Structure 1
């Protein structure tokens, strides 16, 4: 949309705000709004409550995707969903979907063939502390998992599996936050959303690995020292990316690239020598994690303006 500039006296210029936008966000005379200067753009925003978005969803014959779609609507920032269904079993799937990942979602109304899900929680938590928790939780899953594998401690591995659910809850909250409130820089939202999405996927890799070993004859399996060392090196590249993310540095980004290159080369060198299934399973999962971490450097570099890449 376009607005004409209004000249007031000799030094003041005014631009009116769209009435529809003001009405939607309940902006009144005397309210304060935030204005950020970004080159040739001015970004106008308000911290006022945003009108909740509502949708209607037919979950009939939607299995096995019911939970996934409801979770997607949560991440998108939807505050109210009317779910239509035909069978009781379909309602039960909806109820089950409202678990730990959709904090604040509750069924507030229910009829014969429908129910209404509404976000009943208050404001979302601050974004930055939750994002840091995601990184630290991932590093903890890796470090504690390595210790459990070395000790062949099945009980310890089992206790690590629920950490993936915590990771899901944090990553889901962060993505909902980005969709609801955005970021001070609009250019950051897309890359950051991608990074958070794959941090969740990396936690899944550890969950799959720990679930497999804790449900099989783990103590009878042979895991070579070289495989455990490879696991440890994979943890190091995760930590290196975490350090880079919060403390940008030219040398760190180069080091992540070098570590990835060495780990891929080492994987091919080990592949021909591995005979034990446990070694192959662990190293394959670690290689997947290494590649995912390396792929996260792309979206990170697209919005990091603090790296001093020039002298």
Structure 2
């Protein structure tokens, strides 16, 4: 629909509201509505007018990843209330752990025999988005730094807490994107950027799992690849924080060194499993440079 802009006073321009929209939300003179900018568009909403989204999930398997994927995607999609049907207490236990460790704002509000209700108690805010992304990137940096030290000196690091925090931030940001997609420019680029960097971090998680089965110190070539992977991510992070597109050229150059020179040489040594995960992480961080470029170019419009 189109509306004509009317001048009211020396500087004020006004547009009439659609009558169907006004009557549907029972808007009266003097009511306040929220106006949000999204590029050349405006989104109008009335507080409390949005109907909470609900869905139902039935758990049929005991596999942790299947249960985690089901509830996580309901969270990311923006559902406010989830009815879950489960077959046994082991399934419920897995579900409860995922909610506690990965889904900020979700909580179990009701539990009965074979079913429970999960509700969103804290709504993600667009104002928090950039700060959460910064915390997310910082946590990945710390994980990479500590993992490098672990390879050098054979130390044990608390990687599981870091991975849980990374997953929490990733899920939180994706829920913000899903809930506020209309008013959030470059949302698709952000979603892809988060997905790739999270996959990179998860490769470091699997690296640590693999190291638990490996005996002896890793080769110096392996440590070098890990240091370069960490440096590559540091460039990516700096590019996001400083908004410097030129740094992405360095990411492209470094990827060739990390994977095709250092990586291939390190694969000839004894640490093939460890090197595989480091290279997979580096590859994901490198691929994340593409959606990051989309984010930064969009901000210049």
TM-score category, normalised to shorter length = 0.7 to 0.9
The superposition leaves residues 91-136 of structure 1 with CA deviations (integer Å, 9 ceiling, x where unpaired) of 4444344221122322222334432211223554711111001111
Residue in 2 that maps onto 1:301: 293
Shift of 1:45: 4.2
**Secondary structure, counterpart of 1:5 in structure 2:** coil
| SS state at 2:101 partner | coil
3-state SS in 2 of match to 1:81? strand
| 8 A contact 2:33–2:47 mirrored in 1 | no
- Checking the alignment, whether the CA contact within 8 Å between 2:196 and 2:287 is kept in structure 1 is no
Q: Which residue number in structure 1 is paired with residue 250 of structure 2?
A: 255
| Unaligned residue ranges in structure 2 (runs of 5+) | none
1:106 — aligned with what?
107
Deviation at 1:211, TM superposition (A): 2.0
Counterpart in the other structure of 1:115: 116
CA 47–198 in structure 1, closer or farther in 2 if over 3 Å, else same:
farther
Per the normalisation by structure 1, the TM-score is 0.81
User: Using the alignment, how far apart are the partners of 1:172 and 1:160 within structure 2?
Assistant: 18
Aligned length: 294
CA contact (8 A) 1:195 1:299 kept: yes
**Given the alignment, which residue of 204, 208, 211 partners 1:210?**
208
5 Å-filtered alignment, 1:30-179, equals 30-36=31-37, 38=39, 41-46=40-45, 48-49=47-48, 50-59=50-59, 61-64=60-63, 65-121=66-122, 124=125, 126-153=128-155, 156-157=156-157, 159-179=158-178
CA deviations 1:171-217 (Å, max 9, x no partner) are 1111111112337543x11110111122221111111111221x235
Match of 1:275 in 2: 269
Displacement, 1:8?
A: 6.2
- Out of 235, 239, 243, the residue aligned to residue 238 of structure 2 is 243
Distance 2:112 2:141 in 1: 45
Give distance in 1, aligned partners of 2:169 and 2:31: 36
1:298 Cα deviation from its structure 2 partner: 1.5
Q: Contact conserved, 1:108 with 1:117, CA < 8 A, in 2?
A: yes
1:268-298 Cα deviation digits (max 9, x unpaired): 65057x231x2x2232222212211121121
1:303 & 1:244 partners in 2: Cα distance?
11
**SS of the residue 2:118 aligns to:** strand
Moved more, 121-130 or 19-28: 19-28
Contact kept, 8 Å, 1:101 with 1:168, in 2: the verdict is yes
